[in-house]
Structure 1
């Protein structure tokens, strides 16, 4: 009897290994970003190397997307963000955004618009990831703890059955302070990063996606991000999450208070 020959499954190539516009972007950004900062990544193995999901970070510096994009690249995934629609009209930069699959969102809108939802469906179908800042803008919290989140990430996750992976980072403010216009080049900074387990949104699946459901799900996502940041900072966040509307603050735009 001839023994059965078992062909081992082919090792799936990471999306990072396939030629793409990201190679060009990485060649431009990674060397410069590495001069600015080094990363200490905790639980990087929790970031799925395959499959579609939403990566949800905290947000307190305008250079955050560059830093989180570098972390995503280092962990083997291609970073795709929800980006302000106006950025896509910037010469050259807008071309790179379009070619790399970034998702335009109107400044006054949310992830509820048709373009982001269509992008989420494509992301799920193609096994890609999208990075969404649940806070929607830089936190207004005086001590830079995550503030009250918006419902876009929760809606996209629940409507498209996508996991949400929380991630927190601390130290980016040393590279570029909140609302600063200049980058601090020297000395080289250290940014601590921690990846969390998928957020458990099972209690919300199958429920009507009304404002109550989405608000509750968003709070669960923000709790997960905040817990990670507490670990990185070694301190507890305020018991009540900062809400700009309770402090007569605008939801978007620069804030110097």
Structure 2
């Protein structure tokens, strides 16, 4: 079936990036397979992460079907677009339905995008990973691709105003080689190995990031362990 909506949306995203003066630095796109199913796994620090994670797959000419909370599909503006782009709604009360839909997509050769932290991390550090992405890859025999995003939190994230004007923010995307899986490895161990790989990619993106906060007021987007004022994971757990 022809893709009537997704390609124009990608075109709109390109225009938006130019208008905002964003500086995209994408490395590792060659790891995304040109055909066949794959599970693309990313950290989650912004409401716009799916835009940049999906855009990173365009060099491979792939369209990523993201798993997203059902409320996004009920919105009068985003809902029709999400359905037309064949993204996968997740009802947390009936998670098995979304899981089955994701399996069908993978078996039909689609790339499925997953944010295994489930929600945005306000500390901008990795939270624990849910095991669904690994289970889907194991069950369908498709590659498991780790990804890290950095800089997207400066545009629009939880608890902060949107900054969607022309700010020239750098946006880093790092995609790793497929995670090698064996049938003997425990699900929990493989999930932790996936998280560790995303952490490595995240640290690489952070180290290469070409911008620093202008002053203490602007350091909100930097994690505390890197000298910023974002809340620590411990502080968030106590809140």
| TM-score, L = length of structure 2 | 0.79
Does the aligned pair in 1 maintain the 2:103–2:136 contact within 8 Å?
Answer: no
Structure 2 segments unaligned to the other structure (5+ residues) = 209-223, 226-231
Bigger Cα displacement from structure 2, 58-67 vs 221-230 = 58-67
- How far apart are the structure 2 equivalents of 1:158 and 1:43? 23
Does the aligned pair in 2 maintain the 1:81–1:132 contact within 8 Å?
Answer: yes
Judging changes above 3 Å, is the alpha-carbon distance between structure 1 residues 73 and 52 closer, same or farther for their aligned structure 2 residues?
same
Count of aligned residue pairs for this structure pair: 217
Cα distance per residue 1:192-212 (max 9 Å; x no partner) = 21110111221xx267xxxxx
The DSSP-based 3-state class of the residue aligned with 1:134 is: coil
The DSSP-based 3-state class of the residue aligned with 1:81 is: strand
Name the structure 2 match of 1:54: 39
Cα distance per residue 1:80-110 (max 9 Å; x no partner) = 1001112222224212211211111114564
| TM-score, L = length of structure 1 | 0.74
- How far apart are the structure 1 equivalents of 2:3 and 2:157? 34
Structure 1 segments unaligned to the other structure (5+ residues) = 1-14, 208-212, 251-256
Which of residues 14, 23, 26 in structure 1 aligns to 2:7? 23
Shift of 1:26: 2.1
Matched, 1:197 2:184: no
- How far apart are the structure 2 equivalents of 1:39 and 1:76? 18
Does the aligned pair in 2 maintain the 1:54–1:164 contact within 8 Å?
Answer: yes
Matched, 1:220 2:193: yes
List structure 1 segments (4+ residues) > 3 angstroms apart after TM superposition: 107-110, 246-250
Judging changes above 3 Å, is the alpha-carbon distance between structure 1 residues 137 and 187 closer, same or farther for their aligned structure 2 residues?
same
Does the aligned pair in 2 maintain the 1:54–1:162 contact within 8 Å?
Answer: yes
Q: Which has the larger radius of gyration?
A: 1
Matched, 1:42 2:30: no
The DSSP-based 3-state class of the residue aligned with 1:80 is: strand
Name the structure 2 match of 1:101: 86
Judging changes above 3 Å, is the alpha-carbon distance between structure 1 residues 87 and 178 closer, same or farther for their aligned structure 2 residues?
closer
CA RMSD of aligned residues (A): 2.8
The DSSP-based 3-state class of the residue aligned with 2:52 is: helix
